[in-house]
Chain A
């Protein structure tokens, strides 16, 4: 559920209580939308859903494909959960959320397989694995279950844009240094492209880039950890 599992016995409690800001009633629509992009960025600040961020950010194009799938699933699951929030009994809400989320994941999976087969081959099992992405279940539980459809759409959009921003930033850094291209377009002199730092396209490069990015963010926001 949460990467910060220092206190393991807290996990049970966390499942019952929403992850963050349960009922932000006093917030304006703009705040709901913009919070997910920078201040509560799901990836770079809260460190949620790291697996797809590291695995599918080899190039900017893969990252954009992954963000599109996450945007669709997050938005649709937020809409359906908030629309059905009065009908879903709270005892069985988590299984219901999982069924709703996996329905949209299956749709995204098949659409991508049909229309973007090359992209699908690269993303591999990470498309069906969106179903266990903590960001999406976290928003269903922490926001959509307590708020109306309109606000949930704004929240879903904001968080999805925050996710996309982080993963495309990662993908861009890794593609520009690792291949000398950006979204497949050449952005560097040919001597660099033939001697590009392959390391950044490989798994260790992903760990290094996100570590340095997180350190920069800690410096800018004066945070620790």
Chain B
């Protein structure tokens, strides 16, 4: 597939927004978006891990798992594509651990900013979802990287937008049964309607 890079990045941020259109990463979206500072921290951690995870899983898939691959092609010509799910989740889980240890040792400033969000990210379906989408869309390495960065930026954008709304909602007089999750869902519905305005922009449909 030869989608232009600009279309990939705009499509990932606005048209096919990961949270509002694809419904991935809803747990951090509703869990961490209560304050602006935590929303920004979480989004930066996602940007970091999503890009790394896409590189590694792309490499694992195209160099090890596909039939006739560089590393295993000689021994197993039929490939190991059926191990995609299990290998991706294990690779991502170990990657997050590794990033955490690396940051703790060498970049303590970044660790103190992102550290608490990293364990949450392992079970974040957005990371694994993007890894699968890159494979399913048959993206090359560069396209995959751009797609991952765009997706993470789209995640950050709605997290920050939504954190601002949530901060206002805390002060609003809301009837008892709507407090907390229900009103957050309804606010998300409204933001999602706004994002529908981007459909077909840049010639991209969802």
B25 contacts across to A, CB distance below 8 A = 51
Knowing A8-B117, A132-B125, the reply to whether A106 touches B85 (Cβ < 8 A) is yes
Within 8 A of B (CB), among A91-144: 95, 98-99, 102-103, 105-106, 109-110, 124-125, 128-129, 131-134, 137
Q: Is the CB of B116 within 8 A of A51?
A: no
B186 contacts across to A, CB distance below 8 A = 207-208, 211-212
Knowing A4-B31, A102-B86, A125-B133, the reply to whether A215 touches B125 (Cβ < 8 A) is no
Within 8 A of A (CB), among B1-38: 20-28, 30-32, 34, 38
A8 vs B32: C-alpha distance when bound (angstroms):
9
CB distance from A225 to the nearest CB of B (A): 3
Q: Is the CB of A204 within 8 A of B193?
A: yes
Closest B residue, CB atoms, query A106 = B85
Knowing A8-B120, A98-B90, A125-B133, the reply to whether A211 touches B84 (Cβ < 8 A) is no
Please tell me which stretch of B47-55, B59-67, B105-113, B176-184 contacts chain A, meaning at least 4 of its Cβ atoms lie within 8 angstroms of it: B176-184
B129 contacts across to A, CB distance below 8 A = 125, 129
* Per-position 1/0 for B72-107, Cβ under 8 A of A: 000000000011111001100100000000000000
A95 contacts across to B, CB distance below 8 A = 90, 93
Interface size of A as a range: 35 or more
Q: Is the CB of A3 within 8 A of B86?
A: no
Any chain A CB within 8 A of the CB of B139?
no
Closest A residue, CB atoms, query B186 = A211
Knowing A105-B85, A211-B182, A225-B180, the reply to whether A6 touches B116 (Cβ < 8 A) is no
A203 vs B163: C-alpha distance when bound (angstroms):
20
Closest A residue, CB atoms, query B92 = A132
A206 contacts across to B, CB distance below 8 A = 23, 189
CB distance from B50 to the nearest CB of A (A): 14
Any chain B CB within 8 A of the CB of A34?
no
Any chain B CB within 8 A of the CB of A219?
yes
* Per-position 1/0 for A40-62, Cβ under 8 A of B: 00000001001110110000000
Q: Is the CB of B136 within 8 A of A125?
A: yes
Any chain A CB within 8 A of the CB of B44?
no
A106 contacts across to B, CB distance below 8 A = 82-86
CB distance from A180 to the nearest CB of B (A): 21
Q: Is the CB of A8 within 8 A of B85?
A: no
Q: Is the CB of A214 within 8 A of B90?
A: no
A151 vs B193: C-alpha distance when bound (angstroms):
44
A21 vs B21: C-alpha distance when bound (angstroms):
35
Q: Is the CB of B177 within 8 A of A55?
A: no
A105 vs B123: C-alpha distance when bound (angstroms):
15
Knowing A3-B27, A95-B90, A128-B85, the reply to whether A224 touches B177 (Cβ < 8 A) is yes
Q: Please, could you name 17 A-B residue pairs with CB atoms under 8 Å apart, sorted by A? A: A51-B25, A52-B23, A54-B26, A98-B93, A102-B89, A110-B82, A125-B129, A128-B132, A207-B186, A207-B189, A211-B189, A212-B186, A215-B177, A218-B182, A224-B176, A224-B179, A225-B179
Residues of B within 8 A of A (CB): 20-28, 30-32, 34, 38, 82-86, 89-90, 93, 116-117, 119-120, 123-125, 128-129, 132-133, 136, 176-186, 188-190, 192-193, 196
20 extra interchain contacts, Cβ-Cβ under 8 A, other than A12-B119, A137-B123? A1-B123, A5-B32, A6-B34, A51-B26, A98-B90, A99-B86, A99-B90, A106-B82, A109-B85, A125-B129, A128-B84, A203-B20, A204-B193, A204-B196, A207-B189, A208-B186, A208-B189, A211-B186, A214-B181, A215-B177
